[in-house]
Chains A and B, each alone.
Chain A
């Protein structure tokens, strides 16, 4: 189920809120678990079994690790098996098809093997990573073991962040699972956050996506630049909007999740960009891969290797295709170059240089991310750099979207937040905000409902 759907807004959310708040505290986690399972199984009920298996598997490994450690025995092997089991699940459902296809290309005797057709279980990359964080945190004594399997299930399936993150590490919410306070202030800030997120997704990301779709078939240099800029904005608003909705929904149920995005497009360096973009994922890789590999503590050559490994994996985590790997390595190279000398150089230059430098590289990055087909990617880069005029129609498309582009760029910066803070916490500001939220909510619902508006044109002849 998607947050930006009628079923979620007008059936799922009202019913879970009602049931959650009339239930005694004891029953609230099980209720959340149950509804999260409905939420998850809505599109593909088959994968509920996989979800339940993942929960049980990690609950069991967490308990086993805990028992071994509390009797002063080593749990390293068990942790290893647990992590491997999780990776196996992810590997099978996400990467099997890709690897078989690749092997078939190089190994002639594989020709007879059929490429497995597995549809990707929604959110698997997120919940497998969350489950892994749990057993690792228990192993590291960063978090207590969770004895109640229902509470643990609630953590893994928690519907706000189930499908698209943020990846909530167990250590960060361990206490909230059993002791959290729901109150009006939290709920109302959650509502704000949820509406902002939905507005990002429905009112900004979707139009930017339409613009990118319209421009992809147009020729001319400007079409390519505006197009990739639109995609850059789409992917940010889509993803950060989803994170905002997740954080907002979390608050409505008393949870506090960590921030996932921090205005990434105002970065002056790529290093800064990755501190601001999809923070929960970078943190996960840093905590569970980069630092265990030795991080920056084992000399420069080892650090470079570690960076390549982490970013290769980060890229690959986004999808089973070469271009994602390429995208990850692209960032690894940029980060290494910045570490070696570029950061120092950039610091001395005016800020605007850093902004332009980062933004252009990020644009190229999203091109790598978008085009799964490398020859299409090549053609796109040719279009970016070969001077060619655009058609009048294409010019009209771009002009038509200028207001939305400007609005999107404005919304991608902290400008609105800064202005808001300047006026402080006066009542009038609060009511203006409230009115703005109501307005955005109506616009969002309007956009959602419109998607189904489909005049039957066959009668028109």
Chain B
């Protein structure tokens, strides 16, 4: 039988495709970071007999190949468009709206929201001072009538109304929904390719808020606007619809005398826009240098000599400089990174006005509101008890902080000197994992919690190691090489504390206690 030309072509094309892909995979230089995903790509797996025999090597090679396959972005885009064109958008996280707008899917009420609003009410009670609450509706809500294809309903108005209804007496709610709703083109208040509000959006909120308070504000004309082109934000990354172009990002400069300090550092920056950040993957960090636990803005030329404390998410990276047009001192607190209790901070520092200002999405999902009025431990934070098997699995979890959170929602997370400690509670044990600031896993282990803080508090400096072992036979002893080989023992207590004891020649030299 004669071989047909089409058969030759099929054979050749198939083999050529496989060959080209594999040769390019081998030859092309490997990227370290994915620009679109804003994460580190897998590194080349290391060979070891242990990895090989456990099958881990095989899995690692697959992830490595998947991350570095030639034309990866192209293929990812093809898949996103396939899903969009076959109508599956409504089941995805990002919706496409008219005018190439990419917005997050609608939010639904959840338990965390109720906890968070209660935490804000409790803060007002603890402070004995009114607390203001202003929630920003989502970008999807602003374009709810122009979503392409099917869409679940955007209930931002109802959700915010319900939230405000639950706020305690000491909370003054500030309505931004009607301000944004009344705006002629509400979509201009948000980016097309990012979930944040634009500078115009932040300015509109600033102006409305100052009007509500009866305070002066800087007129729009008095700002000089600098524009950067081709900003592609988070929703662009997540949707992977690459045919959608970037957009301009505006920096509005008002008073030149605003200074910025980050965290507890004394270093003063004479700028609010960090243009070096524009070279980075996430250009939104140009506003106040991205996320910091504590940002202090000071403006000696501002008309109102008061301190405004804003408990906030990243929307205020853009809003903060506007507020500093009016207030001499504006303090921005990010609960995800701020490890002290905010109520304590307010008492120690003179604060005239406290406002909780969040995007609806973050307010409904942030799990760090416990840090408002008192630092909370795992016993208060955890809503779920895991069994021993699950804890073992969690502690062996291989992946990023984010991936872990996707599988086992993170309820108890503490920031300690640039790394995160995440804990999961069980009946008589806890799983504790460490992540670095990049969100990469450092270690994980399950500890048995058979003693309480009370049991351990009888220990004193100078007591013997034997006594510790008697009180807590399950304690985990280790030698810390970084600390001159000092022996230490870690005790995770059943009431949510971590007690670390350091020894010197088998006697206790130091005891530290912290919340888990």
What separation, in Å, do the CA atoms of A452 and B15 have in the docked complex?
Answer: 24
- Beta-carbon contact of B72 and A184 below 8 Å: no
Contact of B75 among A183, A430, A449 (CB under 8 A): A449
What separation, in Å, do the CA atoms of A403 and B80 have in the docked complex?
Answer: 16
- Beta-carbon contact of B403 and A450 below 8 Å: no
The answer to whether residues A456 and B38 also contact, given A11-B65, A402-B87, A437-B10 and a CB cut-off of 8 A, is yes
Instruction: Please give, as numbers and ranges, the residues of chain B lying within 8 Å of A447 by CB-CB distance.
Output: 79, 82
Q: Mark A440-461, 1 if CB is under 8 A from B, else 0.
A: 0111011111111111111111
Cβ of A123 under 8 Å from chain B: no
Minimum CB–CB distance from A256 to chain B (whole Å) comes to: 15
Minimum CB–CB distance from B359 to chain A (whole Å) comes to: 9
Minimum CB–CB distance from B423 to chain A (whole Å) comes to: 18
What separation, in Å, do the CA atoms of A459 and B362 have in the docked complex?
Answer: 12
Instruction: Please give, as numbers and ranges, the residues of chain B lying within 8 Å of A191 by CB-CB distance.
Output: 10-11, 14
Docked complex: B1-45 residues within 8 A CB-CB of A? 1, 3-4, 6-11, 13-15, 17-19, 21-22, 25, 36-39
Closest residue of chain B to A42 (Cβ to Cβ) is: B58
- Beta-carbon contact of B18 and A453 below 8 Å: no
Minimum CB–CB distance from A244 to chain B (whole Å) comes to: 15
- Beta-carbon contact of A396 and B10 below 8 Å: no
- Beta-carbon contact of A43 and B55 below 8 Å: yes
Contact of B91 among A185, A210, A442 (CB under 8 A): A210
The answer to whether residues A445 and B75 also contact, given A10-B69, A45-B52, A456-B39 and a CB cut-off of 8 A, is yes
Instruction: Please give, as numbers and ranges, the residues of chain A lying within 8 Å of B237 by CB-CB distance.
Output: 455
- Beta-carbon contact of A404 and B78 below 8 Å: no
Cβ of B62 under 8 Å from chain A: yes
The answer to whether residues A401 and B88 also contact, given A187-B11, A450-B76, A455-B234 and a CB cut-off of 8 A, is yes
What separation, in Å, do the CA atoms of A434 and B9 have in the docked complex?
Answer: 8
What separation, in Å, do the CA atoms of A402 and B403 have in the docked complex?
Answer: 30
Cβ of A356 under 8 Å from chain B: no
- Beta-carbon contact of A450 and B79 below 8 Å: yes
Minimum CB–CB distance from B91 to chain A (whole Å) comes to: 5
The answer to whether residues A460 and B234 also contact, given A449-B72, A455-B39 and a CB cut-off of 8 A, is yes
- Beta-carbon contact of A42 and B55 below 8 Å: yes
Cβ of A109 under 8 Å from chain B: no
Minimum CB–CB distance from B70 to chain A (whole Å) comes to: 9
What separation, in Å, do the CA atoms of A458 and B17 have in the docked complex?
Answer: 36
Closest residue of chain A to B85 (Cβ to Cβ) is: A403
- Beta-carbon contact of B439 and A430 below 8 Å: no
Closest residue of chain A to B93 (Cβ to Cβ) is: A457
Instruction: Please give, as numbers and ranges, the residues of chain B lying within 8 Å of A10 by CB-CB distance.
Output: 18, 21-22, 25, 65, 69
Contact of B69 among A1, A210, A449 (CB under 8 A): A449
What separation, in Å, do the CA atoms of A235 and B316 have in the docked complex?
Answer: 49
Cβ of A50 under 8 Å from chain B: no
- Beta-carbon contact of A457 and B65 below 8 Å: no
- Beta-carbon contact of A453 and B88 below 8 Å: no
- Beta-carbon contact of A455 and B11 below 8 Å: no
Cβ of B240 under 8 Å from chain A: yes
Cβ of B161 under 8 Å from chain A: no
Contact of A403 among B61, B63, B86 (CB under 8 A): B86
Cβ of A399 under 8 Å from chain B: yes
- Beta-carbon contact of A454 and B37 below 8 Å: yes
What separation, in Å, do the CA atoms of A431 and B7 have in the docked complex?
Answer: 10
Minimum CB–CB distance from B506 to chain A (whole Å) comes to: 39
- Beta-carbon contact of A184 and B8 below 8 Å: yes
Contact of B78 among A6, A433, A443 (CB under 8 A): A443
- Beta-carbon contact of B37 and A449 below 8 Å: no
Q: Mark B45-62, 1 if CB is under 8 A from A, else 0.
A: 000000011010011011
What separation, in Å, do the CA atoms of A19 and B94 have in the docked complex?
Answer: 45
Docked complex: A92-117 residues within 8 A CB-CB of B? none
Minimum CB–CB distance from A144 to chain B (whole Å) comes to: 29
Minimum CB–CB distance from B6 to chain A (whole Å) comes to: 4
What separation, in Å, do the CA atoms of A443 and B79 have in the docked complex?
Answer: 7
Minimum CB–CB distance from B81 to chain A (whole Å) comes to: 9
Instruction: Please give, as numbers and ranges, the residues of chain A lying within 8 Å of B476 by CB-CB distance.
Output: none
- Beta-carbon contact of A192 and B10 below 8 Å: yes
Minimum CB–CB distance from A14 to chain B (whole Å) comes to: 4
Minimum CB–CB distance from A19 to chain B (whole Å) comes to: 13
Cβ of A392 under 8 Å from chain B: yes
Minimum CB–CB distance from A53 to chain B (whole Å) comes to: 17
Closest residue of chain B to A433 (Cβ to Cβ) is: B6
Contact of B150 among A11, A396, A461 (CB under 8 A): A396
What separation, in Å, do the CA atoms of A401 and B62 have in the docked complex?
Answer: 29
- Beta-carbon contact of B75 and A450 below 8 Å: yes
Central interface residue in B3, B88, B313, by most chain A CB within 10 Å: B88
- Beta-carbon contact of A455 and B37 below 8 Å: yes
Instruction: Please give, as numbers and ranges, the residues of chain B lying within 8 Å of A438 by CB-CB distance.
Output: 13
Instruction: Please give, as numbers and ranges, the residues of chain A lying within 8 Å of B362 by CB-CB distance.
Output: 461
Instruction: Please give, as numbers and ranges, the residues of chain A lying within 8 Å of B88 by CB-CB distance.
Output: 207, 400-401, 404
What separation, in Å, do the CA atoms of A45 and B82 have in the docked complex?
Answer: 37
Docked complex: B374-407 residues within 8 A CB-CB of A? 400-403
Docked complex: B264-309 residues within 8 A CB-CB of A? 282, 291
Contact of B58 among A43, A185, A192, A457 (CB under 8 A): A43
Cβ of B67 under 8 Å from chain A: yes
- Beta-carbon contact of B11 and A452 below 8 Å: no
Cβ of B416 under 8 Å from chain A: no
Docked complex: B215-246 residues within 8 A CB-CB of A? 234, 237-238, 240
Instruction: Please give, as numbers and ranges, the residues of chain A lying within 8 Å of B256 by CB-CB distance.
Output: none
- Beta-carbon contact of A185 and B3 below 8 Å: yes
The answer to whether residues A400 and B150 also contact, given A44-B55, A441-B17 and a CB cut-off of 8 A, is yes
Cβ of A5 under 8 Å from chain B: yes
Cβ of A342 under 8 Å from chain B: no
Cβ of B173 under 8 Å from chain A: no
- Beta-carbon contact of B11 and A459 below 8 Å: no
What separation, in Å, do the CA atoms of A141 and B441 have in the docked complex?
Answer: 60
- Beta-carbon contact of A461 and B291 below 8 Å: yes
Closest residue of chain B to A5 (Cβ to Cβ) is: B62
Closest residue of chain B to A207 (Cβ to Cβ) is: B88
Cβ of B314 under 8 Å from chain A: yes
Instruction: Please give, as numbers and ranges, the residues of chain A lying within 8 Å of B18 by CB-CB distance.
Output: 9-10, 13-14, 17
Instruction: Please give, as numbers and ranges, the residues of chain A lying within 8 Å of B153 by CB-CB distance.
Output: 392
Minimum CB–CB distance from A445 to chain B (whole Å) comes to: 6
Central interface residue in B86, B149, B314, B403, by most chain A CB within 10 Å: B86
- Beta-carbon contact of A456 and B37 below 8 Å: yes
Docked complex: A157-192 residues within 8 A CB-CB of B? 183-185, 187-189, 191-192
Minimum CB–CB distance from B197 to chain A (whole Å) comes to: 13
Instruction: Please give, as numbers and ranges, the residues of chain A lying within 8 Å of B78 by CB-CB distance.
Output: 442-443, 446
What separation, in Å, do the CA atoms of A404 and B37 have in the docked complex?
Answer: 27
Q: Mark B323-367, 1 if CB is under 8 A from A, else 0.
A: 000000000000010000000000000000000000000100000
What separation, in Å, do the CA atoms of A453 and B1 have in the docked complex?
Answer: 46
What separation, in Å, do the CA atoms of A7 and B76 have in the docked complex?
Answer: 17
- Beta-carbon contact of B65 and A45 below 8 Å: no
Cβ of B90 under 8 Å from chain A: yes
Cβ of A46 under 8 Å from chain B: yes
Instruction: Please give, as numbers and ranges, the residues of chain B lying within 8 Å of A450 by CB-CB distance.
Output: 75-76, 79-80, 240
Q: Mark A1-33, 1 if CB is under 8 A from B, else 0.
A: 100011101110111011000000000000000
Instruction: Please give, as numbers and ranges, the residues of chain B lying within 8 Å of A427 by CB-CB distance.
Output: 6
Cβ of A389 under 8 Å from chain B: no
Cβ of A214 under 8 Å from chain B: yes
Instruction: Please give, as numbers and ranges, the residues of chain A lying within 8 Å of B493 by CB-CB distance.
Output: none
Cβ of A334 under 8 Å from chain B: no
Beyond A400-B89, A449-B72, list 4 extra A-B contacts (CB 8 Å): A5-B62, A392-B153, A447-B79, A461-B336
**Leading 5 A-B pairs by shortest Cβ distance:** A452-B66, A456-B39, A446-B78, A188-B7, A188-B10
Listed in ascending order, the chain B residues whose CB lies under 8 Å from chain A are 1, 3-4, 6-11, 13-15, 17-19, 21-22, 25, 36-39, 52-53, 55, 58-59, 61-63, 65-67, 69, 72, 75-80, 82, 86-91, 149-153, 195, 234, 237-238, 240, 282, 291, 313-314, 336, 362, 400-403, 439
Q: List 8 A-B contacts (CB under 8 A).
A: A185-B3, A191-B14, A449-B75, A449-B79, A450-B80, A455-B237, A456-B38, A460-B195
